[in-house]
Amino acid sequence: MDQIESKIVRKLPDLLMNDWKNIFLSELGESYFESMQVKLSKKMQSDEVFPPQDAIFQAFNLCSFADTQVVIIGQDPYHGKGQAHGLCFSVTSGLPLPPSLRNIKKELHLDLDVFLTNQDGDLSLWAKQGVLLLNSILTVSEARPGSHEDIGWQKLTSLAIEKISKEKEHVVFLLWGHYAQQLAKNVDEKKHLLLKSSHPSPLSANRGGWFGNKVFSKTNDYLIAHQKKAINWL
């Protein structure tokens, strides 16, 4: 094994732990993963890549296809050391909240009219309740946002959105900003609820359309109306 290949110890499909693995392999095939692995290995040879290898598919591993009832879409992982752990908008426990996540927490407070005692930035508890926290691009090089657009992640994550739209019913898609709204433009609005708002980043949020959007209570109202369990957002 040469030096480049040694940067990835495990094959990408081996990092998927539930029903998503069969979905992706049956739709995309081993060769697609092999192509992505070669490209990712080259990035890892020259750059520090986030999130850690075992967390690349964390969004899928914590929220199986069968359990998915809410989808939140981001662009690519945080590019600061130690932040990204495979869930969009979420950071490793104990780290300071990035600006977008601070605004998410503020809107939670406004929407649910409760004091948030949990100010930790790890959103894993959401994922374990059926919230797919999905970045369109699953890896990034340190300090270089958008640097892994050429890996091929978008085909995989677009497939995930397509499969949810076609094969499930009454899923809530939280589409924050233009990027997320474009990725989900083909979601069947007759079968699912699409809640669109501005992005929670300070620039977008301060222009209006984020604070007061009540997406969290609207999500729970919809889930309950369709005999599903509400999400504990706190």
Please identify every residue annotated as catalytic.
76
Does residue 51 have a cis peptide bond before it, meaning omega lies within 30 degrees of 0?
yes
Task: State the DSSP string of 92-103.
Answer: -TTSPPPHHHHH
Which of 160, 180, 182, 219 lies closest to 89, judged by CA?
A: 180
Q: Are 134 and 158 in contact (CB under 8 A)?
A: no
Q: Which residues contact 219 (CB under 8 A, 6 or more apart)?
A: 70, 172, 174, 193, 195, 231
Q: Which helix (H) or strand (E) holds 104?
A: helix 99-112
Q: For residue 167, what is the enclosing H or E element?
A: helix 153-167
